[in-house]
Amino acid sequence: MNITTENTEAPPPAPQPSAAEQKRASRGATRAGDRIFLGLSRGSGIFLLVIMAAIAVFLTYRASLAISKDHGNFLTTFEWDTNVVPPVFGIAVLAFGTVVSSIIAMAIAVPVAVGIALFITHYAPRKLGTPIAYVIDLLAAVPSIVYGLWGALVLVPHMQGVFGWLNDYFGWTGIFSWQGGAPRALLTVGVLLAIMILPIITNVSREVFRQVPQMHEEAALALGATRWEVIRTAVLPFGRSGVISASMLGLGRALGETMAVATVLSPTFDIQASLLDPGGGTFAQNIASKFGEATDQGRDALIASGLVLFVITLLVNGAARMIIARRKEYSGANA
Partner 1 sequence: MSHAAVTDRRPSTLRGASLPKWSPWAIAAGSVALGTGIGLGAGLDSTIQWGLIAAILFVLGTYVIAARVEGRRQAKDRIATSLVWVCFLAAVIPLASLIWETLKRGVKVFDVYFLTHSMGVVPDTQPGGGIYHAILGTLEQVGIATVIAVPVGVLTAVYLVEYGRGKLAKAVTFFVDVMTGIPSIVAGLFILSFWILILNMGYSGFAGSLALAILMMPVVVRSTEEMLKLVPNELREASLALGVPKWRTILKVVLPTSIGGITTGVMLAIARITGETAPVLLLVWGTNFINSNPFKDPQASLPLYIYQQYANSAGSGAAYDRAWAAALALIGFVMILNLVARGIARWKAPKTGR
Span 191-210, contacts to partner 1 by CB under 8 A: 195, 198, 202
Q: Nearer to partner 1 by C-beta: 98 or 272?
A: 98
* Interface with partner 1: number of residues (CB under 8 A): 108
Of these, 104, 185, 212, 249, which contacts partner 1 (CB under 8 A)?
A: 249
- Considering the rule CB under 8 A, would residue 284 count as an interface residue with partner 1? yes
Tell me the residue type at 72: G
- Considering the rule CB under 8 A, would residue 55 count as an interface residue with partner 1? yes
Q: How far is the CB of 146 from partner 1 (least distance, A)?
A: 5
- Considering the rule CB under 8 A, would residue 44 count as an interface residue with partner 1? yes
Of these, 103, 221, 244, 288, which contacts partner 1 (CB under 8 A)?
A: 288
Query: How far is Cα 230 from Cα 212, in angstroms, rounded to an integer?
Result: 11
Span 129-188, contacts to partner 1 by CB under 8 A: 132, 134-135, 137-139, 141-150, 152-155, 158, 160-162, 165
Q: Nearer to partner 1 by C-beta: 272 or 320?
A: 320
- Nearest to 186, CA basis, from 105, 114, 290: 105
- Nearest to 114, CA basis, from 240, 300, 13, 218: 240
CB 194 within 8 A of CB 105: yes
- Considering the rule CB under 8 A, would residue 10 count as an interface residue with partner 1? no
CB 113 within 8 A of CB 209: no
Of these, 247, 316, 323, 330, which contacts partner 1 (CB under 8 A)?
A: 316
- Considering the rule CB under 8 A, would residue 276 count as an interface residue with partner 1? no
Looking at the DSSP assignment, which residues form a beta bridge with residue 89? 80
- If DSSP codes are grouped into helix, strand and coil, which group holds residue 268? strand
Q: Nearer to partner 1 by C-beta: 131 or 273?
A: 131
Q: How far is the CB of 34 from partner 1 (least distance, A)?
A: 5
- Considering the rule CB under 8 A, would residue 38 count as an interface residue with partner 1? yes
80: part of which helix (H) or strand (E)? strand 80-81
**Helix and strand totals (H; E) in the chain:** 13, 2
Span 67-106, contacts to partner 1 by CB under 8 A: none
Q: How far is the CB of 58 from partner 1 (least distance, A)?
A: 5
Phi, psi of 109 (to 5 degrees): -75, -40
Query: How far is Cα 302 from Cα 316, in angstroms, rounded to an integer?
Result: 21
- Considering the rule CB under 8 A, would residue 331 count as an interface residue with partner 1? yes
Per-residue burial over 3-14, b = 16 or more CB atoms within 10 Å of its CB, e = otherwise: eeeeeeeeeeee
Question: In sequence order, what are the residues at sequence separation of 6 or more whose Cβ sits closer than 8 angstroms to the Cβ of residue 285?
Answer: 97, 258, 261, 262, 265, 267
- Considering the rule CB under 8 A, would residue 54 count as an interface residue with partner 1? yes
Span 294-313, contacts to partner 1 by CB under 8 A: 296, 299-300, 302-303, 306, 309-310, 313
Helix axes 236-256, 296-326, angle to 10 degrees: 170
Q: How far is the CB of 121 from partner 1 (least distance, A)?
A: 10
Q: How many CA atoms lie within 13 A of 5 on its CB side?
A: 9
Q: Nearer to partner 1 by C-beta: 93 or 113?
A: 113
The number of residues in the chain equals 335
Q: Nearer to partner 1 by C-beta: 30 or 273?
A: 30
Query: How far is Cα 57 from Cα 55, in angstroms, rounded to an integer?
Result: 6
Stretch near partner 1 under the rule CB under 8 A, chosen from 15-23, 53-61, 72-80, 215-223: 53-61
